[in-house]
Amino acid sequence: MLDRLQRGAFAYITEYANAQNGLIADTSRSGSPCSIAVVGFALSCYPVAVERGWMSRTVAAAQTLKTLHFFWNSPQSERPDATGFKGFYYHFLDMKNGRRVWQCELSLVDTTLLVAGMLTAGCYFDGDGAEAEIRALSAALYRRVDWQWAQNGRETVSQGWKPECGFLHYGWEGYNEATIVYILGIGSPTHPLSLTSFAGWTSTYQWENLLGQDVLYSGPLFTHLFSHAWIDYRGIPDQFMREAHSDYFENSKNAIAVHREYGARNPRGYEGYGRNLWGITAGDGPGNREMRESSRDRRFFGYMSRGVPYGPDDGTIAPWAMLATLPFGSESALRGTRHLLQAYPQVCTNDRFSSGFNPTLAARGDGWLSEGWYGLDQGLLVMMIENYRSGLIWKITRECAVIRAGLKGAGFEGGWLSQCH
């Protein structure tokens, strides 16, 4: 089952790619732009495909190099139709010409996920010829990112920037997927974040006791997974986690336990929820609508970040989410996934999970189902299944000098990080 679902998820990357420039569509829907974060996942998934025999090493290297060439040569300027600025890239790009679309932001976290994929590729492809060029380009692209500029004179980093209005007026507060932003930013050999920036961010954390679990709070499940797709946090706590006698890996396990308990308690009485059906996160939804069902007033939302236990929660489950937690606990991930596939087989077509499913909203008698697929879901699933099966991505990034430097600079220590290299 794992091989089938992992390969089905990877097939999204090849089916919805522009083979000429390496860009990957955000979704499978017609006219979808590229998401730079999805490209970062794709660059990390090519090594998985090589090791699993789904793609030859030569083809994977060629596609990786094509992608890196595009980003290196794409226009970097303050112009509103550029591809990026200061080494960062716009969140969404035109699939053909690679220019900014939708007046979207220059995104720090999405650029970070893209760069994480570049660094993964640079560490994996260790041969001559095209592989040597991959290493050189991935390093050059990373060195070009001006993390100091992104601090905007403050202790912590901004979430983004737009040519029309400058830096966005909100930053990162509270624990979320941005851990990897600070790690790569601090590890930069050219424009590093200040060493105090990570401590400034962790000072906004909320440590709580939720549904019987002590946990560093962040509601959506994906925030406990994204950074972990690349970095093995087992046994390497930072100062905050040392004081809590935990680490970020253990925290994700506790967050998953909160999600399972929330599913079991089902305080809002949604259809299908249970200890073996959970996974509330960012994703597609039924859209803004209201209805009265089972003597309850219900309100449903479109694409948004859902979370537990504080919500928002409209009964929408991400079908891929349980399986993506495999490295943190295979028994609950597999039991939940098997239950989901048996109870609601429509959520998985072509061995690929849809973004969202809402069994409470009875459309056609079997609940609402998201149209098509989202690249972020598929890329994360490929990586997390592989980290469970072989630990491949974690093995690659543990050997990445700049990631190690970023972790140490942010105050992480112990475990594999203390071993000599």
Nearest to 42 by CA among 59, 60, 29: 60
Structure tokens at 15: 């089916």
| DSSP string for residues in 365-379 | TS-EE-SS-BHHHHH
Q: Which residue has the tokens 């972020």?
A: 376
> In the prediction, which pLDDT does 287 show?
84
Read off φ and ψ for residue 34, nearest 5 degrees.
Answer: -80, 140
Read off φ and ψ for residue 120, nearest 5 degrees.
Answer: -60, -45
> In the prediction, which pLDDT does 40 show?
98
> In the prediction, which pLDDT does 367 show?
83
> What does the angle CA 104 – CA 105 – CA 107 come to, to the nearest 5 degrees?
130
**What is the residue-level pLDDT of the chain in tens, covering all 421 positions?**
999 999 999 999 999 999 999 999 999 999 999 999 999 999 999 999 999 999 999 999 999 999 999 999 999 999 999 999 999 999 999 999 999 999 999 999 999 999 999 999 999 999 999 999 999 999 999 999 999 999 998 889 999 999 999 999 876 788 999 999 999 999 999 999 998 999 999 999 999 999 999 999 999 999 999 999 999 999 999 999 999 999 999 999 999 999 999 999 999 999 999 999 999 999 998 887 666 555 566 788 888 899 999 999 999 999 999 999 999 999 999 999 999 999 999 999 999 999 999 999 875 567 899 999 999 999 999 999 999 999 999 999 999 999 999 999 999 999 999 986 6
Structure tokens at 17: 């790619």
> In the prediction, which pLDDT does 366 show?
72
> In the prediction, which pLDDT does 50 show?
98
> In the prediction, which pLDDT does 142 show?
98
Helix H segments across 217-344?
Answer: 226-230, 239-243, 248-265, 321-324, 330-343
Helix H segments across 286-366?
Answer: 321-324, 330-343
Q: What's the rounded Cα separation, in Å, for the pair 190 and 26?
A: 31
Neighbours of 295 (CB within 10 A): 6
> In the prediction, which pLDDT does 291 show?
65
Task: Decide: residue 149, CB within 10 A, 0-12 exposed, 13-18 middle, 19+ buried.
Answer: middle
Which residues are paired to 130 by β-bridges?
none
